[in-house]
Amino acid sequence: MWSAWGTKKSYQSVRTEDDDQESTNLEELKARHAQAKKSLTRLLLHRGLFVPIVVLILLLAAGVSVAYFTVWRSSITPPIAEISPNAPATVASPTAPGAATFSETLSEGGCHKRREWRTLSQEEKQHYISSVHCLLDHPSVFPGHAIKNSTLYEDFPWIHSHAGYYTHDSASFLPWHRYFLHIYETTLRRECGFEGELVYWDWTQDWEDLAHAPVFDGKSGFGGDGDPQGEVTIGKTGRCVVDGPFADVEARFYDVKFQPHCLSRGFTDDQGNRRIDGTAVSPESISNVLALDRYDHFVSKMESVVHDAIPFGIGGDFQTFTAPYDPLFYLHHVQLDRLWWMWQQQDNRTWEYNGYKQRHSMEMASLDDVLIYQGLAEDVKVEEMMDTQKEGGLICYTY
Ligand SMILES: [Cu+2]
């Protein structure tokens, strides 16, 4: 036979010599094997074991097939919860990859920095948008309320048009909205897996052509103007927003009136020009407002000049007290909050607070005043909203 160190050639020559002997052995083996097979079959039939063994083999084969099919199916089919027939194709999962980059914005004080919309990556924009959109899939926190069977998304315009109404035209305009934004942010995190911070729209960068700002992008933003060919839904110019991820938003209220309609905007003028006047949010206008040194003067100009320009320019839902139906409301108000924060940084004005306590009231404002949220969250004192980085405070962020 072939020795371990032999070449292939030497093996072949040895094999030729042993050929006859090997074929004899093979015949003998075959005969023995046939004999053994016959004996075994006879034994099985004789003892009545043949049928139970065949059944056992068939059962085992079936079990293996079912297990294999289950594993294969789960590898190609996502869980049912992920297949929502109503989810728009442009909306990614709230835990989209890339979301984690939001968390790399810690300031020196350990609080997160809020950023401008256009500095976000595509993934971060998608993550923000899909987190906001997710509120539409959650039930209202007000069971048995006037907005029964509504969504968590709708709770925010509801509270803004009720409790929030009284804070406009008063000192509490800024602190009330500061906490309102915080409630929104924590709701997004808790209910929708949001991993970032709220973002702002710095309109001073677009003031010369607000109507074409990146926030209105139909693919990477919040959709554009209402359809100029469409019918007027609300107000004088509000028409259905038909592009972007929020074109499916159904607003049931217009201010305090029950008037179901599509999310609407209207900034195309009678001549068909898409235009929003940005004079009030130009860098010059903003620096004039930031130069005011009394809180009551500052808050008044902030609301009546800077704040009003955007909702009245965009029109539709945004221009009334149910403005938070428009997702841009939040980016606009974070920018207003940022300007207040900038104003507070000058000359140690963090704790400056004066003016009238609330709308239609002649009572003077104080840091002890309570800001009311009617159950959307716990009420808080104005004092809690003055420093965005107070140790042990309710809020922790910077710009
Ligand atoms: Cu408001």
DSSP assignments along 337-371, one per residue: HHHHHHHHHGGG-TT---SBSSTT--SBP-TTPEE
Give the separation between CA 222 and CA 224, rounded to whole angstroms: 7
**Residue 11 tokens, joined:** 């093996």
311 C-alpha to ligand 1 centroid (Å): 10
81 C-alpha to ligand 1 centroid (Å): 35
296 C-alpha to ligand 1 centroid (Å): 17
169 C-alpha to ligand 1 centroid (Å): 10
195 C-alpha to ligand 1 centroid (Å): 25
pLDDT at position 94 is 40
Give the separation between CA 332 and CA 131, rounded to whole angstroms: 18
191 C-alpha to ligand 1 centroid (Å): 23
Distance of CA 225 to the CA centre of its chain: 22
Integer CA distances (angstroms), 51 to 43, 48, 55, 250, 361, in order: 13, 7, 6, 67, 94
Written as one letter, the residue type at 10 is S
56 C-alpha to ligand 1 centroid (Å): 74
337 C-alpha to ligand 1 centroid (Å): 12
CA atoms 260, 262, 264, 268: torsion sign: negative
Written as one letter, the residue type at 284 is E
Sequence-separated (6 or more) residues with CB below 8 Å from residue 169 = 303, 356, 359
Walk along the chain (399 residues) and give the pLDDT tens digit of each residue.
Answer: 333 333 333 333 333 344 444 444 555 555 555 565 555 445 444 455 555 555 565 666 555 444 443 333 333 332 222 223 233 333 334 444 444 456 556 666 789 999 999 999 999 999 999 999 999 999 999 876 666 678 999 999 999 999 888 899 999 999 999 999 999 999 999 999 999 999 999 999 999 999 999 999 999 999 999 999 999 999 989 999 999 999 999 999 999 899 999 999 999 777 778 889 999 999 999 999 999 999 999 999 999 999 999 999 999 999 999 999 999 999 999 999 999 999 999 999 999 999 999 998 899 999 999 999 999 999 999 999 999 999 999 999 999
261 C-alpha to ligand 1 centroid (Å): 21
Give the separation between CA 254 and CA 242, rounded to whole angstroms: 19
291 C-alpha to ligand 1 centroid (Å): 23
Give the separation between CA 312 and CA 238, rounded to whole angstroms: 11
List the CATH code of the domain at 90-398.
1.10.1280.10
350 C-alpha to ligand 1 centroid (Å): 21
Give the separation between CA 75 and CA 120, rounded to whole angstroms: 33
224 C-alpha to ligand 1 centroid (Å): 21
DSSP bridge partners of 264: 240
End-to-end CA distance of the chain: 86
61 C-alpha to ligand 1 centroid (Å): 68
- Would you list the domain boundaries of the chain? 8-77, 90-398
Label each residue of 238-252 as H, E or C.
EEEECCCCCCCCEEE
pTM value is 0.74
CB count in 10 Å sphere of residue 190: 9
pLDDT at position 109 is 72
174 C-alpha to ligand 1 centroid (Å): 9
82 C-alpha to ligand 1 centroid (Å): 35
270 C-alpha to ligand 1 centroid (Å): 28
113 C-alpha to ligand 1 centroid (Å): 23
Looking at 77-163, list the stretches that DSSP marks H as alpha helix, in order from N- to C-terminal side. 122-134, 152-161
Task: Provide φ and ψ at 265, rounded to 5°.
Answer: -140, 165
Task: Provide φ and ψ at 116, rounded to 5°.
Answer: -80, 145
